[in-house]
Structure 1
């Protein structure tokens, strides 16, 4: 029991900082997700202060955001005895899991664009709050069954005004190398929202081709590709996409931030012509509960019958 109201029921995921649990808010009788800091970090004085500072930063950053495409924070507690962040429990699955359900691990253009457009909608709120997410990846993106895309995990979030080097070290900031921007890998302090847009470009390429732009799993080689190698075209994987969409992906994957689109809103506007066309009949058609196409074809539609 945490804070005399949250019962922890099962572990949803683990990371360096701690665990995410499925729990229940007992007074309100509703399911919640509870993120806790790893006890081993709190037990060692040398790591305790850094862990608490980072966790405090995450809770403040997440709590100040209010957007459909961002996980809602309900509560937080940072004391000598309790360190937890309570959030909405999202009924759905990760983008990573959906890749496994797709034939050839690819999305069609409308589905991929639907995910990317909603990411940009959420990022517009993140960036408007002077924050940079810095860790967008397939595991940190949830798809609800009604088609809503949710951005998770603000553990690496950076305040644009944050100048404390203890909280913004290069090792902490690289996040998932598959989507890490060149400037983040280079350890630059002047990160802005265009670093997140690079990750959107990586995810778009991944969704359309079934592989990240640079699919190697060797960290040093992967970082080198992000820093210096020209990104491949979607057509190189044998996939045809509209020319303007390829041009957008190429611009998002530019090595220099100044060569990318200037904002998430600009990217959304470029994606809009390729969003799924409405399919009213699908909204009331009986479909498999985990049909990966339905959420994108009926965004914010009723739950599957």
Structure 2
């Protein structure tokens, strides 16, 4: 593209492109009709083919469908001199990768606030069945008000998207080394928990100033991801709250079933930690405005109040009943880790058919959380039960019988923990 070119007799390009890498060539521009700055993104002319054109258009359409303040708005799409383009909202801010490079590890409150905002975007994406597959610091921007924007849906897929296997066969990148989930490395089918891994790796980077897995070569990095337990940011930064340390560790679990069940569960942990938001000189206009922007975005976490039958009245299908009995037998035989994984697998399978708020999903996840008490991990059990409590309150309201019963169980477990000798902190484990 020539500097100053006029696209559609409306968008006047700037003097220099902002970026020229990958499949996109990005230019600042002025929308002369609405008198506002915009971004115009073209396909890289040297790489253009029919498959790339389809990917480019698809990214624009997916991004447009994801109507959320944490995603740049799509204003227009078209073709100029044979090259497809998309017109995007201009973000006045900085990529998180550049922010960490300039500032070092970020204040804990800001890490939690940024993570909560990304979680809200992932909640919206899951409603549409979208998996981003490339959540990383360079794909997230913090604007001058403190609001987060998640960029680049070029690798996004839906669960029934056959393109996933085709992309794998053509050898195109499925993510970014050090941030993509193990199932992406292994070429397995992704789901919403794939993005939770990328979020965990991003939070680790923001907290410590380095990615969780970073070796000299790509192969060594990938081997560490697949063969070693996920690291804890608290080992590099001791002042990190235990709840945040445990969350990042869980998000980086090797197996998807060992990660938090949903982005909404991640949000419930991060939001309370987002209270202390100190100024970031040279980045944010005003901290008060940043708090308002943050609250407006993360407030989009869905709140539902639908009547549900009591948990005790829920009946499982015959095949599921047999699987539940097998999980109970595993736990009775002392194979508690295996039982936990089975409870979570059953909960995920049932949620796909009946929704995350189905009472039986709640019951299965509650069993998985309780099992951590038998493993000598009451703190982990409490955190899981508290996340379940917040989910049930959103779904059924604070006075539902299941909510009141769970409150009592949490209070009882806290009392037992308070009167027991403090356990030693367990070493990092990939089995959770």
Whether TM exceeds 0.5 here: the answer is: yes
Quickly say closer, same or farther: Cα 1:184–1:238, change in 2 above 3 A.
Answer: same
TM-score (norm 2): 0.62
Aligned twin of 2:268: 269
1:300 has 2:293 as partner: yes
Task: Specify which of 7, 26, 29 is matched with residue 2 of structure 1.
Answer: 7
Shift of 1:293: 9.0
Which protein is richer in strand relative to its size? 1
Confirm or deny: 8 A CA contact 2:183 2:190 kept in the other structure.
yes
* RMSD (Å), alpha carbons: 2.3
Aligned twin of 2:184: 184
Aligned twin of 1:45: none
Deviations 1:226-251 (A, max 9, x none): 22211222232143222221111111
Aligned twin of 1:20: 26
Question: In the TM superposition, what are the counterparts of 1:211-230 in structure 2 within 5 Å?
Answer: 211-230=210-229
d(CA) in 2 for partners of 1:275, 1:186:
35
Confirm or deny: 8 A CA contact 1:114 1:296 kept in the other structure.
no
Quickly say closer, same or farther: Cα 1:169–1:195, change in 2 above 3 A.
Answer: farther
Question: In the TM superposition, what are the counterparts of 1:43-62 in structure 2 within 5 Å?
Answer: 48-62=49-63
Aligned twin of 1:98: 99
Aligned twin of 2:257: 258
Larger radius of gyration: 2
d(CA) in 2 for partners of 1:129, 1:118:
18
Question: In the TM superposition, what are the counterparts of 1:37-116 in structure 2 within 5 Å?
Answer: 37-42=43-48, 48-78=49-79, 81-102=82-103, 105-116=104-115
1:290 has 2:283 as partner: yes
d(CA) in 1 for partners of 2:211, 2:132:
19
Name the SS for the 1:132 alignment partner.
Answer: coil
Name the SS for the 1:174 alignment partner.
Answer: coil
d(CA) in 2 for partners of 1:191, 1:117:
22
Confirm or deny: 8 A CA contact 1:170 1:185 kept in the other structure.
no
Aligned twin of 1:31: 37
TM-score (norm 1): 0.87
Quickly say closer, same or farther: Cα 1:169–1:21, change in 2 above 3 A.
Answer: farther
Aligned twin of 2:157: 158
Name the SS for the 2:247 alignment partner.
Answer: helix
Shift of 1:290: 2.7
> Which range moves more in the overlay, 33-42 or 229-238?
229-238
Question: In the TM superposition, what are the counterparts of 1:111-260 in structure 2 within 5 Å?
Answer: 111-164=110-163, 165-167=165-167, 169=169, 171-188=171-188, 190-260=189-259
Deviations 1:222-273 (A, max 9, x none): 1112222112222321432222211111110111111111111110011122
Unaligned runs of 5+ in 1: 43-47
d(CA) in 1 for partners of 2:254, 2:176:
17
Choose between structure 1 and 2 for higher RCO, CA contacts under 8 A separated by at least 6 residues: 1
Shift of 1:11: 1.3
Shift of 1:3: 2.5
d(CA) in 2 for partners of 1:295, 1:222:
40
Shift of 1:149: 0.4
d(CA) in 2 for partners of 1:134, 1:33:
23
Name the SS for the 2:225 alignment partner.
Answer: helix
Deviations 1:42-72 (A, max 9, x none): 3xxxxx1111111121111111011111111
> Which range moves more in the overlay, 217-226 or 117-126?
217-226
Shift of 1:97: 1.7
